Amino acid sequence: QQFIAVAALDDFQVMMDNGATCGVFKNAQLLHNLRMVDRPCIINGIGGKLETQTVGDFMGMTTVYYHPDALANILSQSTLSDEGHQITYNHRMQTFHLVPVGSNHAIEFKRHGGLYCFDTRAPDLVATSVARNKQRYTKREIKRAEEARRVQKRLGYPSDERIPHMTTVQNIPVTRSDIVRAKQIWGPHRALLRGKMRLKKPPAVIIDDLDWKPTEIVQDMAIDVFFIDGDGYLLSVLSPLDYSISTHLKNRETDSIRSALNHQFALINEQDYTVRAIMCDGEGGVLALYDELRDQGYVINPFGAGEHVPVVERKIDTLKGRIRSCLMGLDYQLMFSLLRYLVEYATIMVNLEPCSKREDPTSPWELFHGRKIDYKRHLKLAFGDYAEVKELRHKSNSMNARSQPCIA
């Protein structure tokens, strides 16, 4: 009966087991930093015996084993407790609450039959931020802010600025400070955004073009393949420009690498740059293109077996550090399908930094695109930020929502 209950859990539900001595997951999309360990682990359970050498990190708080044939995604309650995470049980609600070390946000495991699980597909994206905002105020101030939101709803959602001036309604129990405080805790009211958002005429965009073009039009290109949670990417670094380009790979086959290289060559040619030489390590998919690239006029410089191209290896290490930091800075578990966009974002951010090898302070991004970056114009949102975006497809006089919730 217990086997049937566990097997009924889907791939995105996580169970906390007080009888498990270690955690094991069957869904790799829920894990980060998948890697091999030195010794295999043999796991005996109600689903049989599994042997695995693969581990991954779950939500940045614990390490679990991974095997695609595991019965479910299982966390070990004893391991979590030993690692210092706080676990409490609510007898009345019959729920477990897990508070990771260094966090104020509790993960709730609800009872499903005889099991305690939570669904990773429905994370509370704003719970951590709201809890952090509430810590700045007293209980009385939070209560009045909640009342301000109720008042706004009962009045039919007038704007925040209009409520204090509605003298035609007597005994409104909130003040302007309560309304401002509610906005500081929860942000703009989503009902107002989706019901009233208007399309504003954007300000005139002034592009600050560079008044010169670098003389190093001909570039050398160092390439390598790297992986993030099993997802492959082709990274190319142009020298001496120090500009990086990352392209997602469907697989490690030659056709996939050829397609990625052609895409990168097109981007480079659009900006009037030319690739002279290509440096690579012993990646099989790249070496298979040796004759083809040479016939196109490129000088191919493959490194020896076991050797790596230093410039691209350092850049990969920098990129992975940025990606890891972005993941740790999110208040929710990033979907695996969005990972490629994070890699693209991190590549752009790295290109914004001036190269320490060049005398001038101009960033590789500016040199490559010929435009400057303005913080207020181009960096209004960070990767993973929640945003309400104007919906242009619907008619403005319909009752459809005027904005859509999005993740930047």
Nearest partner of 267 among 293, 291, 245, judged by Cα:
245
Percent of the chain with pLDDT over 70: 84
Name which residue leads in pLDDT, 197 or 108: 108
Sign of CA dihedral 50, 55, 56, 61: positive
Instruction: Report the C-alpha gap between 229 and 191 in whole angstroms.
Output: 37
101 pLDDT tier (thresholds 50, 70, 90): confident
Among 115-129, 218-232, 292-306, 354-368, the minimum mean pLDDT is found in 115-129
In angstroms, rounded to a whole number, what is the distance separating the alpha carbons of residues 313 and 192? 49
DSSP per residue, 366-394:
HHHHSB---HHHH-SS-TT-EEEEE--SS
Using only C-alpha atoms, what is the Rg of the chain?
27
Q: What is the pLDDT of residue 215?
A: 54
pTM of the entire structure? 0.56
Task: Give, in order, the Cα–Cα distances in Å from 147 to each of 137, 152, 271.
Answer: 15, 9, 56
Of 304 and 148, the structure prediction assigns the larger pLDDT to 148
pLDDT at 187: 78
Answer whether residue 373 shows pLDDT above 50. yes
Q: What percent of the chain has pLDDT over 90?
A: 6
Q: Taking 80 as the threshold, does the pLDDT of residue 36 lie above it?
A: yes
- Tens of pLDDT, residues 43-52: 887 667 888 8
Long-range pairs, 119-128, Cβ under 8 A, ≥24: 119/12, 119/13, 119/14, 120/12, 120/13, 120/14, 120/30, 120/333, 121/12, 123/332, 123/333, 124/332, 125/331, 125/332, 125/386, 126/186, 126/187, 126/331, 126/386, 127/331, 128/103, 128/104, 128/331
> Per-residue pLDDT for 208 more than 70?
no
pLDDT reported for residue 364:
86
- CA atoms within a 13 Å half-sphere pointing along the CA-CB vector of 53: 5
Q: Is the pLDDT reported for residue 20 higher than 70?
A: yes
Mean pLDDT of 142-163: 82
| Higher pLDDT pick, 199 / 87 | 87
Q: What is the mean pLDDT of the chain?
A: 80
CA atoms within 13 A on the CB side of 58: 28
CA nearest neighbour of 34 among 320, 203, 222, 230: 230
The rounded distance, in Å, linking the Cα atoms of 121 and 383 is 19
Q: Give CA–CA dist 313/295, Å, rounded.
A: 27
- Determine the Cα–Cα distance for residues 180 and 155; give it in Å rounded to an integer: 17
Orientation angle between helical segments 139-154 and 176-186, nearest 10 degrees: 100
pLDDT at 257 over 60: yes
First to last CA, the chain: 44
Segment 259-266 shows an average pLDDT of: 90
Residue 13 and residue 117 in contact, taking contact as beta carbons nearer than 8 Å: yes
Amino acid type, 315: K
Least confident of 68-72, 172-176, 190-194, 290-294: 190-194
Q: Using DSSP bridges, classify how beta strands 24-25 and 62-66 pair: parallel, antiparallel or unpaired.
A: parallel
